[in-house]
Structure 1
Amino acid sequence: MEELAIIVPVYNEEETIELFIKAVNKKTASLQLKKTFYFVNDGSKDNTLSIIKKLALQEKNINYISFSRNFGKEAALLAGLQATHESFVTIMDVDLQDPPELLTQMYDKILEGYDVVGTRRISRQGEPFIISSLSRLFYKTFNKISSTPIVDGVRDFRLMTRQVVNSILTLEENNRFSKGLFAWVGYNVAYLEYPNHERSAGKTSWTFRELLSYSIDGLMNFSEAPLNIATFVGVLSFFISLVLGIFYIIKTLIFGDPVQGFPTLIVLILLLGGLQLLSLGIIGKYIAKIFLETKKRPNYIIKETNLY
């Protein structure tokens, strides 16, 4: 029987782990794959790790990797992918917002010849309005400025063949945006749609600030458009300043009143200064990413694991 690796990043999820394992085992009982869980503890501060270790002693198909601190979900996904060796790999959230029953349908699609079967939410019922609105805006913006389109509402929850996983692992960049990386490697992809599911227990660890930062990083990792915008703003500002300069010189020579228009001058100075700072901020963001890449720091540090 072929094997399935289930990668599960966790951070302060002590309430959901046992519910998750029971639900997956129950709803995938007919799945013709031998399941192995890979829990990646991303520096949890509650009893998440102790619960996983207890379960790992009871069940041989439960593995865990525990970081020395919180490195973020992207690092946890990478660690999980690197730890697996199974023929098929899936990524799931422990809060059961990714329906386990879809795994059977996903595997059927793989048998039809697909290399990847992803999932996408067709509704966001239960999410705060501001979060759902900004999420839709992100996908629209990303797909307009990036040469690597991402399906609106796509989840990290997907079933991949070993070949696809190996291709993803060849991408060694430190500033990772997995949704973009999954799309960039290509392959034959199918998508299953489902409505939004509420968390089984606990509260999300994602804050609005973290989601916003993650979105900005995603846009910059897969597009040069912000740099082009900065260049365009600079050229446009210079052109407008040149035209206004000529206009005021001619106006002064004809009417001989250089004092009038002083408020306009102040507004223009503030406008140009703001545009310059905006452009420098965009360029600085890219330089910061280059700086992080050149330091070659590891994406994560493993404190303990039962894999070796």
Structure 2
Amino acid sequence: MGSQPILSVVVPCFNEEKSLPLLVRTLEPILNSEFNQLDWEIILVNDGSHDGTEACIEAFHQLCPNIWGVSLTRNFGHQPALYTGLTHSKGEFIACMDADLQDPPEVLLDLVRTVRSGQYDVAYGVRASRDAGPLIKACYRSFYRLMGAISEHPWQMDAGDFCAMNRRALDMLLSLPERDKFLRGLRSWVGLRQIGVSYARPQRRLGRSKYNYSRLYRLAMKGVVGFSTVPLRIASFLSLGMGLVCVLGAAFLILNRLFPAFTLFGYSIGASQGIATLAVLILLMASAVLASLGIIGEYLAVVLVEVKQRPVSLISRIIHQ
């Protein structure tokens, strides 16, 4: 491409051999209806796929130079792949979408138009509904409501990575130094003028979702740990609270032994061998300690990633002219 494009569309791909042809056939005419042939580019990030995804990207690039790709050395995950594509984008405006067409290209164009109007720096998709099972819907809904309650900045409800932004917003995102990226959280953290565009998220047309419950849990933990210190405060509260309970319990035991007439709710320590009392106190203390250690462990995991200073991803090759 001889000049800087107006729009860059970044699409992370992991084992999307079946979905990519449909994506390109759907997205290319929509972009051509809005822009001239040389005014857009599609960056397909091959996130260590095991199928023919890389060969598909090569074939698309041969047919249309506007479509090119970046292949990573292995599967680094959706967020690192998306970040890698963003760092290689050259457009004045940048859009992010998935390869499975659950992010409709028609809605993508609406997001781009909203940002190009100059009134907003970022336009993001808000999932008014999604074609998924009741359990996964409940998990997503619970996560976004939890983040809205504990986040230290306004959190965008029911909004994923599907968005469009101008170069100013992207430069701010790329300037943030952390390695463990959670881009939808960072996008809301930078502020600027942002607006949500509601849409109904359709069912995946081809292939299967790469997000199982384990990956969704890890993604949720990135959001919680990366953008809220409330869990740490809860751990402190649990530790201090249980410490106070133990002190009060010890004081009661001592008073009851020294003054048998003194009882709490008619309960006398001398009435039994004390096994139940000790068991309850030990269980309460252990539960507080273990819960606190679990919360602290999540934060230490993030600290470990940042201290290592490893790159977000490693590039195997760039599929370009």
Per the normalisation by structure 2, the TM-score is: 0.91
How is 1:91-106 mapped onto 2 (pairs within 5 angstroms)? 91-106=96-111
Match of 1:262 among 248, 272, 275: 275
In structure 2, list runs of 5 or more residues that go unmatched: 261-268
Q: Which residue of 1 aligns with 2:21?
A: 18
How many residue pairs get matched? 307
Q: Which residue of 1 aligns with 2:302?
A: 289
The whole-number CA distance in structure 1 between the counterparts of 2:26 and 2:149 is 38
How is 1:60-139 mapped onto 2 (pairs within 5 angstroms)? 60-110=65-115, 111-124=117-130, 126-139=131-144
Say which is worse superposed, 132-141 or 11-20, in terms of deviation: 132-141
The whole-number CA distance in structure 2 between the counterparts of 1:297 and 1:30 is 41
Structure 1 residue 6 and structure 2 residue 9: aligned?
A: yes
The whole-number CA distance in structure 2 between the counterparts of 1:39 and 1:51 is 10
The whole-number CA distance in structure 1 between the counterparts of 2:311 and 2:118 is 38
Q: Which residue of 2 aligns with 1:192?
A: 197
Q: Which residue of 2 aligns with 1:48?
A: 53
SS of the residue aligned with 2:170? Answer: helix
Say which is worse superposed, 96-105 or 220-229, in terms of deviation: 96-105
- Match for 1:294: what amino acid? V
The whole-number CA distance in structure 2 between the counterparts of 1:285 and 1:180 is 17
Structure 1 residue 201 and structure 2 residue 206: aligned?
A: yes
Structure 1 residue 278 and structure 2 residue 284: aligned?
A: no
CA displacement 1:77-124 (0-9 Å, x = unmatched): 110111011101000111111111123322332215211111111012
Per the normalisation by structure 1, the TM-score is: 0.95
Shift of 1:179: 0.9
Shift of 1:55: 1.4
CA displacement 1:51-71 (0-9 Å, x = unmatched): 111211221011111111110
Shift of 1:288: 2.3
How is 1:151-170 mapped onto 2 (pairs within 5 angstroms)? 151-170=156-175
The whole-number CA distance in structure 2 between the counterparts of 1:285 and 1:258 is 44
Shift of 1:258: 7.1
Shift of 1:298: 0.9
- Match for 1:296: what amino acid? Q
Q: Which residue of 2 aligns with 1:27?
A: 30
Shift of 1:272: 0.7
Contact 2:93–2:112 at 8 Å: present in 1 too? no
SS of the residue aligned with 1:102? Answer: helix
Shift of 1:249: 2.0
- Match for 2:14: what amino acid? Y
Q: Which has the larger radius of gyration?
A: 2
SS of the residue aligned with 1:121? Answer: strand
SS of the residue aligned with 1:122? Answer: strand
SS of the residue aligned with 2:105? Answer: coil
Match of 1:219 among 218, 221, 224: 224
The whole-number CA distance in structure 1 between the counterparts of 2:315 and 2:142 is 36
Q: Which residue of 1 aligns with 2:265?
A: none
% same residue: 33
Contact 2:60–2:68 at 8 Å: present in 1 too? no
The whole-number CA distance in structure 2 between the counterparts of 1:119 and 1:112 is 18
Shift of 1:208: 0.5
The whole-number CA distance in structure 2 between the counterparts of 1:175 and 1:94 is 22
In structure 1, list runs of 5 or more residues that go unmatched: none
- Match for 1:306: what amino acid? I
The whole-number CA distance in structure 1 between the counterparts of 2:285 and 2:29 is 62
The whole-number CA distance in structure 1 between the counterparts of 2:320 and 2:174 is 19
SS of the residue aligned with 1:158? Answer: strand
Shift of 1:259: 4.2
The whole-number CA distance in structure 2 between the counterparts of 1:271 and 1:52 is 57
